[in-house]
Every structure is written in C-alpha cells, then in structure tokens.
Amino acid sequence: MSEQILNPNPQNDQERPLVEVKNLKEYFNISTGFFKTTPLKAVDDVSFAIRRGETLGLVGESGCGKTTVGRTLLHLYKPTAGEIIYDGKSIVSRSDIAMLHKKTSMVFQDPYSSLNPRMTVADIIGEPLDVHKLCKTKNERRDRILELMGHVGLNSEHASRYSHEFSGGQRQRIGIARALAVNPEFIVCDEPVSALDVSIQAQVINMFDELQDKLGLTYLFIAHDLLVVRHISDRIAVMYLGKMVELADASEICDKPLHPYSKALMSAVPLPDPNAARANKRIPLSGDIPSPLHAPSGCPFRTRCPYATELCAEAMPEFKEVSKGHFVACHRTADINT
C-alpha cells in the first residue's frame, strides 16, 4: 500500500492526517440456510487518509459500502479487520473509542427518522451535551444550545418546538446542530442532502462550507450526487462493491477519470452548457451491480466493464498511484486512457 494514500500531500502539509484508514474490512454474516452463514463483504480492504480541514467526497452506487465505511470509521460498527487511526492514535480500546466519539460526529441521511419526535429541539441538540457531561449548569446548557442553533440558522423560539413541526431542510439543520454539540473536529456526512428539495440542498451545502471555515471542521462527505460532491470536496474517492477503485483531486477525477466505472459515473453528470451537453457521450453500463454476497472473482467491476479481459477475472488489480496523487485499481488503465 502506497504511503501517498495515507499522506496525500506530505510536502505541503507537515501535519499528520487527522484520519487514516488502513485495509479496512467490514463483513456481515448473512444466514443462507440452516446453520449456514455467508459473509457479506460490505467494505473490503479500503485505505485512505483525510487531512485536517479537508473534505473527502465518497461516491458510488447504492449498496457499494459508502455508508458502512463512514459508520465503521466512527466505530458505530466494529471493524472486521484493518486499522483506524485518529490524530496519530490507533483506535483499539474502549477508552480510544470513547475519545473518538467525543471528537467526531455524524450527520445522518434522513432528517425525518433521525430525530426523536417526542423530544423538543432543545432536548435533541442538548442530548450529546448531557451524554458527554459538557455543561455544568442549566444556564450554560441553554446558552450552548442557542449558540448551536444560531450556527445553523435556527431561531431561539424554535427551541421549545418538536421536530414534526419543521420542514425537511429545518430538520436537517437540527441534525447538524446536534452533530456540532460535542464541538467535533471531524464529521461524517452521510448523504445529508439527498432527502431534501433541490432548492434547499444548495443552502445546506453552503452552510457546511461556512461551518468548515468558521469551526475548522474536517468532513467525510458521502453522496451519490456528483455535482454536490464536486462542489464541496477537495478530493473524491469512488467505491464499487466494497472496493475503492479511484481516488484523486476533485477537479481531476471529474474532468479526467481513469477507471471505467468512474468514466461511466462522470458521463452521467448533467452539464449546464447545452453545447457541452450535446458533445458529452454517455457511457451506459449493462446489467445490475452484483450482490456483495456473491461478488465476482478478481476485479469486482469486470462483469459490467467493456474492457475486461481474462486477467480481470483472475486477480484484483492493485490500488496504485498512476500520476501524482491519482490512484486507480485497474489492470488496463494505460490501455484505455491512451
């Protein structure tokens, strides 16, 4: 595994990465008969690093393992194998996990089901403060809750209301305020705008940008909307069937993708310029994504790849650096990009 994956910009950033993931695996045992289980490889040998203040976008089809990466990274799921390092410290013991939970947080996809309808907005935002005992007095707790509401554009009179009284965009703001309650350094954003109207998505995305500048946050931004990911991300990683297939700077991976799957994804992005849109050639993919319970041998994308050869069925390609900071897992990268 290349050191560049884990320290993506060493010459400009002397600090170690805030988050490092090495050979992460997350398998779930699925019952497939009487007393028989089969491992579902939701995440299979994934490695990456995120610098302080950076946003790493993580994209791919539904079911490719994006959300599982985020949840396993925060130890909401116990990793099957691999190493998670936060600020130079490997997360192993219970005390390590407790420390991780105090410095990290998560914004969930669905603002309707992620908020308790029986709790007021003040209690929802204040719950992390109570769990981690971050406020000594009721007045301090109230002031902190109002401060957090101010960060996300909510008014003080909203504090005594219930989540069902708000729109989807306002509910997601409540969820973001809750995520900020522990004063985190790192936030996993799990498709935070996919359930919102398009007009509201831009507001929420801009708020993430503003919060990052104001509070010095670092994001893992999980999404399937490539326009959103390109706007907010410094670098983008592409996943397919539990594997990472490409990783590069956001502009480079959007303008010059090298992996066949990344090419197909980027060709589907709508372009605002009519001339460019007419010149853009869509790359359709045949067939459905295979089941992770019965993943293909070798390269997981080979069953849908127009460039697949016998070698692709025999061996998983190495995730290697093909140009500065650009990593691809494909046996035929040089052939299909000449």
Q: Which fold has domain 3-87+188-193+217-336?
A: Rossmann fold (3.40.50)
Every domain of the chain and the residues it spans: 3-87+188-193+217-336
What Å distances lie between residue 320 and 5, 58, 131, 216, CA to CA?
9, 18, 43, 31
pLDDT in tens, the chain (338 residues): 555 555 555 444 446 899 999 999 999 999 888 888 989 999 999 999 999 999 999 999 888 899 999 999 999 999 999 999 999 999 999 999 999 999 999 999 888 888 999 999 999 999 999 998 999 999 999 999 999 999 999 999 999 999 999 998 999 999 999 999 999 999 999 999 888 888 888 899 999 999 999 999 999 999 988 888 999 999 999 999 999 999 999 999 988 999 999 999 988 877 666 766 666 777 778 777 788 888 889 999 999 998 999 999 999 999 999 999 999 999 999 888 87
